[in-house]
């Protein structure tokens, strides 16, 4: 076979050891047109080869599939997609991105790496929700509140407990400084490093599948468009709420002074994180949730235990309530509700509503561009993030749940690659973890035991209380547990649900175990450093077969 030779990168799923690497390498060498296997990496889930024209994507993927692994040949980047594709000729840009948050930025970076000319349009604050009013400010305030809480509440005798009210203006100022720093460093400075990306600081709407009309009257033309307009807080339709006014997450974190009392409506991730944060800073907090458990997306056992810990800290947590109306009073707010069949009124100085978010799809001309909307106003996309208009893609919170920044960034990258290079990459949310940053924190991935049974799987379930984890004992904090779910037939891990001080730092191992088909025995046999919370994963895996209370600290 004669050249030209080219380098091909293959994404390979399912490799777990050096034997897997050797097996995949041998399968690739036997494929038609393969000249050399450059690399096979199970940690990177990829392989690289040099190959000739006979080595098609189908033949390469087929060779790996015969060896028992899933493979996908990455699309080969072109130096300039615009010049290589006559369909994009005559446009101002190869790609126009409406929205400058996580999904939009990820799309812009990927497009720039592919050699495209990119227009990004953002009419609000650059960086979107996460850095400005979401993850970054909330998590730094949560840590500050934790530091305040630990001054008084810790498990160590001999360490004096000190009290004193937090300096909220100083804490808020530190939060604002961090937000400003990261907005500059991770958005403005990053944008400046990509000269092929042009930012337009204005609102825009789609005039067609190729035209973006700016608020100042200009129209940009592009070969493809990505809509990444994010989402906004959605207040539940409670009588009197709109007239009374309320705080959302952004305005709550920007308060000039801490209130004496606060009602939080909604006990999902955002509501509970902020409720506990304010309570630890000295605010009397009442949480109201319509569903039977807090963090209702999680295993009910997790919600029940977390509610107990929050109430032990002094929060009033009311689940299964029906709110009748909200009224503004001389001293603040009055919420009339039915709780366990009884009518009562809850009062507080301020009211925070955290009942979810809805995609930002109104006012962007989506319908006129042939973009279809689905449930709750989200943009309907296919597995390649393409909308009903084949030239328009969408990514991030605007396509609906799950609304996580890491999902938005991933989606933006997938949308840009598919828009510019063709549909070579599916939007795959297999083994997606989620974290609630309460204390103890909640982290989960995969299915619960009940969900497995509903799917026709007979599960094996182990639950390890943290009192069996040496790190938790040493830290004097044994709140919580590790719950693992395995397929009873294959013994592969299919779910993990963790309630622990640093649950978010533990969940990635479980996510990888599910994604790559690891079994109970794989987790039990893996090395886990002693006196880490992640050792709880190993101990929970051992709990399927053993009584860990009868194991020594160093038992393998």
What are the start-end ranges of the H helices in 286-333?
A: 300-312
Three-state SS annotation for 141-175: HHHHHHHHHHHHCCCCCCCCCCCCCCCHHHHHHHH
Question: Is 344 in contact with 332 (CB distance < 8 Å)?
Answer: no
Q: Are 396 and 228 in contact (CB under 8 A)?
A: yes
Identify which of 425, 445, 414, 424 has the alpha carbon closest to the alpha carbon of residue 510.
Answer: 445
Q: How far apart are CA 496 and CA 511, in angstroms?
A: 8
Please give the DSSP secondary-structure letter assigned to residue 519. Answer: B
Residues 440/479, Cβ–Cβ less than 8 Å: yes
- What region, left, alpha or beta, does residue 351 occupy, with left being phi > 0 and alpha being psi -120 to 50 degrees? beta
- For residue 382, give both structure tokens: 């296919």
Name residues whose C-beta falls within 8 Å of residue 189's C-beta, 6 or more positions apart in sequence. Answer: none
User: Which residue blocks in 10-94 are alpha helix, DSSP H?
Assistant: 18-29, 57-66, 81-84
Distance of CA 509 to the CA centre of its chain: 16
Catalogue the active-site residues. 15, 17, 20, 69, 130, 135, 553-554
Cβ atoms of 279 and 314 closer than 8 Å: yes
* Pairing relationship of beta strands 219-227 and 93-98 according to DSSP bridges: parallel
- Residue 199 gets the label, from left (phi > 0), alpha (psi -120 to 50) or beta, of beta
Q: What is the CA radius of gyration of the chain?
A: 26
b (16+ CB within 10 A) / e for 522-535: bbbeeebeeebbbb
**Alpha-carbon span 145 to 281, nearest angstrom:** 6
Q: Quick one: 257 exposed, middle or buried, by C-beta within 10 A (0-12, 13-18, 19+)?
A: exposed
SS3 state at 129: helix
């Amino acid at each position: 076979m004669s050249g030209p030779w080219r380098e091909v990168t293959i994404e390979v799923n399912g490799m777990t050891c050096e034997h897997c690497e050797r097996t995949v390498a041998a399968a690739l060498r036997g494929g038609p047109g393969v000249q050399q296997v450059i690399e096979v990496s199970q940690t990177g889930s990829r392989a690289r080869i040099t190959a000739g024209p006979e080595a098609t994507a189908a033949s390469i993927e087929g060779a790996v599939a015969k060896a028992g692994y899933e493979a996908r040949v990455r699309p080969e980047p072109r130096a300039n997609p615009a010049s290589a594709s006559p369909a994009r000729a005559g446009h101002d840009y190869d790609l126009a991105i409406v929205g400058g948050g996580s999904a939009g930025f990820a799309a812009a970076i990927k497009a720039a790496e592919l050699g495209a000319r990119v227009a990004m349009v953002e009419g609000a604050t650059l960086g979107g929700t996460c850095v400005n009013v979401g993850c970054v400010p909330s998590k730094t305030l949560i840590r500050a509140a934790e530091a305040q809480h630990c001054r008084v509440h810790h498990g160590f005798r001999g360490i004096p407990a000190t009290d004193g009210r937090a300096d909220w203006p100083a804490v808020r100022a530190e939060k604002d400084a961090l937000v400003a720093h990261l907005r500059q460093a991770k958005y403005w400075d990053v944008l400046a490093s990509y000269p092929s990306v042009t930012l337009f600081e204005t609102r825009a709407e789609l005039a067609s599948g190729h035209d973006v009309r700016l608020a100042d009257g200009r129209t940009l033309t592009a070969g493809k468009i990505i809509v990444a307009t994010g989402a906004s807080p959605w207040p539940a339709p409670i009588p009197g709420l709109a007239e009374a006014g309320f705080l959302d997450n952004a305005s709550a974190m920007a308060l000039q002074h801490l209130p004496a009392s606060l009602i939080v409506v909604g006990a999902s991730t955002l509501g509970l994180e902020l409720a506990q944060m304010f309570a630890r800073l000295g605010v009397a907090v009442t949480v109201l949730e319509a569903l039977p458990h807090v963090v209702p997306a999680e295993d009910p056992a997790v919600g029940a235990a977390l509610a107990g810990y929050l109430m032990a800290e002094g929060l009033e947590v009311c689940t299964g309530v029906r709110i009748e109306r909200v009224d503004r009073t001389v001293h603040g707010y009055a919420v009339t509700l039915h709780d366990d069949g009884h009518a009562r009124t809850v009062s507080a100085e301020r009211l925070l509503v955290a009942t979810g978010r809805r995609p930002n799809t109104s006012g962007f001309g989506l319908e006129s561009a042939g973009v279809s909307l689905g449930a709750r106003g989200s943009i309907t996309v296919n597995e390649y993030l393409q909308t009903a208009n084949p030239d328009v893609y969408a990514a991030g919170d605007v396509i609906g749940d799950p609304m996580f920044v890491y999902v938005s960034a991933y989606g933006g990258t997938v949308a840009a690659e598919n828009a510019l290079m063709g549909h070579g990459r599916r939007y795959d949310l297999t083994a997606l973890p989620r974290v609630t940053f309460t204390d103890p924190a909640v982290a989960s991935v995969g299915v619960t035991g009940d969900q497995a049974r509903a799917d026709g799987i007979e599960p094996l379930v182990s639950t390890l209380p943290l009192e069996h984890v040496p790190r938790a004992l040493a830290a004097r904090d044994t709140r919580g547990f590790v719950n693992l779910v395995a397929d009873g037939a294959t013994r592969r891990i299919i779910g993990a649900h963790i309630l622990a001080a640093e649950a978010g730092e533990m969940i990635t191992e479980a996510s990888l175990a599910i994604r790559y088909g690891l079994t109970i025995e794989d987790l039990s046999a893996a090395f886990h450093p002693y006196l880490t919370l992640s050792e709880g994963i190993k101990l929970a895996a051992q709990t399927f077969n053993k009584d860990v209370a009868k194991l020594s600290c160093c038992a393998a």
